[in-house]
Amino acid sequence: MRIEIWADVVCAWAYIGKRRVETALAGWEGESVEVVWRPFRIDPMAPAESLPMAEVLQDPVVDAALQQCAPGMSPAENRLRVSEIAAAEGLGPRWGAAWRANTQAAHRLIALAYASGGAALQDAVVEGVLRAHFIDALDIGLADTLAAVAERAGFPQGPELLASGAGEETVRELLLRGKAIGVKTSPTLVVGGKALAGAHSPAHITELLRGAAGSVTRELPAEVERFRHSEALLELGDPLGCLTLLGPLMEEFADDRNVRLLAARAYFHSAQLGRARATLEPLVAETPDDSYAQLLLGRVLKRQGLGAEAAPHLRMASAMTPEYKS
- In 3D space, the residue among 202, 221, 215 whose CA is nearest the CA of residue 1 turns out to be 215
- The pTM for the full model equals 0.92
As its CATH architecture, domain 2-213 has 3-Layer(aba) Sandwich (3.40)
Q: What residue spans in the chain does CATH classification 3.40.30.10 cover?
A: 2-213
Peptide bond into 282 cis (omega under 30): no
Express each pLDDT in 74-123 by its tens digit.
777 888 899 999 999 999 999 999 999 999 999 999 999 999 999 999 99
- CATH number for the region 222-324 comes to 1.25.40.10
> What's the confidence (pLDDT) of residue 100?
93
Residue 47 clears pLDDT 80, i.e. is over it = yes
- How far is the C-alpha of 79 from the C-alpha of 85, rounded, in Å? 10
Q: Which of 54-63, 148-157, 270-279 is predicted with the least confidence, judged by mean pLDDT?
A: 54-63
> What's the confidence (pLDDT) of residue 261?
98
Q: What residue spans in the chain does CATH classification 1.25.40.10 cover?
A: 222-324
pLDDT above 70 as % of the chain? 95
- How far is the C-alpha of 50 from the C-alpha of 297, rounded, in Å? 47
Express each pLDDT in 230-286 by its tens digit.
999 999 999 999 999 999 999 999 999 999 999 999 999 999 999 999 999 999 999
> What's the confidence (pLDDT) of residue 64?
60
> What's the confidence (pLDDT) of residue 57?
80
Residue 7 clears pLDDT 80, i.e. is over it = yes
The dihedrals phi and psi of 274, each to the nearest 5 degrees, come to -65, -45
> What's the confidence (pLDDT) of residue 60?
73
> What's the confidence (pLDDT) of residue 71?
61
The two beta strands, 51-52 and 188-191, are unpaired
Beta carbons of 15 and 134 less than 8 angstroms apart: yes
- How far is the C-alpha of 127 from the C-alpha of 113, rounded, in Å? 12
Beta carbons of 187 and 204 less than 8 angstroms apart: no
Beta carbons of 32 and 1 less than 8 angstroms apart: yes
Give the mean pLDDT of the chain: 93
What are all long-range contacts of 114-120, with beta carbons under 8 Å and residues at least 24 apart? 114/36, 114/37, 115/170, 116/155, 116/157, 116/158, 116/161, 117/154, 117/155, 119/34, 119/35, 119/36
Query: Quick one: CA dihedral 254, 259, 260, 264, positive or negative?
Result: negative
Residue 49 clears pLDDT 60, i.e. is over it = yes
Q: For residue 306, how far is the Cα from the chain centroid?
A: 39
- In 3D space, the residue among 101, 103, 102, 111 whose CA is nearest the CA of residue 161 turns out to be 111
